[in-house]
């Protein structure tokens, strides 16, 4: 019975050391700085109202669209 308890204890210690070493490797080196991006302005699609970044939207005649299909739909409604 004692040898089973020792074996269970040894397995637990090996698992704990393995987990601890894995967690420390994920943290990265100390003093490492992360680059933060600035928040981008969000705009609303004139057709469906979805909010998205300005860089991903289509600007036509002062109105923003989320995709070319909504731009085409809006152009056909105006005609």
- Strand duo 58-60 + 51-53: pairing: unpaired
pLDDT of residue 77: 75
Which class for 34: exposed (0-12), middle (13-18), buried (19 or more C-beta within 10 A)? exposed
Whether residue 7 has pLDDT greater than 90: yes
CB 49 within 8 A of CB 63: no
Question: What is the residue-averaged pLDDT of the chain?
Answer: 86
Rg over alpha carbons for the chain, rounded to the nearest Å, is 28
Q: What is the pLDDT of residue 61?
A: 92
Helices (H), 1-79: 2-27, 68-78
What is the per-residue pLDDT across 19-55, written as a single tens digit (0 to 9) for each? 988 887 665 555 455 677 788 999 999 999 999 999 9
**Predicted local confidence at residue 74, as pLDDT:** 85
Rounded CA separation 14/78 (Å) = 70
């Amino acid at each position: 019975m004692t040898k089973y308890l020792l074996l269970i204890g040894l397995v637990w210690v090996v698992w704990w050391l393995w987990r601890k070493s894995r967690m420390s490797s994920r943290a990265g080196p100390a003093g490492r700085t992360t680059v933060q991006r600035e928040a981008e302005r969000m705009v609303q699609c004139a057709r469906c109202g979805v909010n998205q970044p300005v860089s991903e939207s289509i600007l036509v005649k002062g109105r923003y669209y989320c995709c070319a299909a909504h731009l085409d739909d809006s152009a056909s409604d105006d005609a």
